[in-house]
Amino acid sequence: MNHRVRKLYFGASLLIGLQAGAHAVYVGGNPLMYVDPNGLKPGDTFPSRDAAAMDAGSYARTLNPQFVEYGGWIYGQGRGYSYNLGKGLPSSMPNKTMQTLKNQCPALPTDAWHTHPDPGDDSDALNSFSPEDKQFSKEQGVPLYLQTPMGPTLIYNPATGQTRKLP
């Protein structure tokens, strides 16, 4: 049986981060990966689509419960990008929830993003794109980001069929 331990580390960066907002720091066992010193959240502007997707996934991992999927759309905003957020069961997330969120975007979405539920294990199925994820991306005609339970953010490009891991 494989168990993963989550820890919350308190330190000087936490004190600085808390001045930025309630969701400033989430470490999930990796304090260098999950730091949001500006306390950014859905609706805020990010310099790139990748940055918006990484924040969306990190932000969603601060929410409870983690047995559901979180997801939304990335769209252009001013000179950058932003995202919206919704939650649902894996069966409802790709269709009903994502369609509702798409209709709420103030601009045409450039990408979609989502998380997989976090049962506390490192199974390949939860830490990679499912066939349903890839099909959704192809049908929507946009790249799809995935914040995996183990931490890395992946992006699937439906035009090439390729997946890459963000730094």
- Please state whether the peptide bond connecting residue 117 to the residue before it is cis, i.e. omega within 30 degrees of 0: no
Within-domain flag for 131: yes
Within-domain flag for 128: yes
How many residues appear in the chain?
167
Within-domain flag for 34: no
Domain count along the chain? 1
Within-domain flag for 161: yes
- Listing DSSP states for 100-115 in one string gives HHHHH-SS-EEEEEEE
Residue 84 backbone dihedrals phi, psi, to 5 degrees:
-115, 175
Within-domain flag for 86: yes
Residue 47 confidence (pLDDT):
95
Contact in structure between 145 and 124 (CB atoms under 8 Å): no
Residue 3 confidence (pLDDT):
45
Within 10 Å of residue 36's Cβ, how many Cβ atoms? 19
Within-domain flag for 150: yes
Residue 38 confidence (pLDDT):
53
Helix (H, G, I), strand (E, B), or coil: what is residue 78? Answer: coil
Distance between CA atoms of residues 58 and 152, nearest Å: 10
In what helix (H) or strand (E) does residue 53 lie, and over which residues does it extend? Answer: helix 49-60
Domain encompassing residue 84? 40-165
Question: Which pTM value belongs to this model?
Answer: 0.74
> What is the mean pLDDT of the segment spanning 79-92?
90
The CATH code of the domain that includes 57 is: 3.40.140
Within-domain flag for 90: yes
Within-domain flag for 25: no
> What is the mean pLDDT of the segment spanning 81-96?
86
Q: pLDDT class for 102, splitting at 50, 70, 90?
A: very high
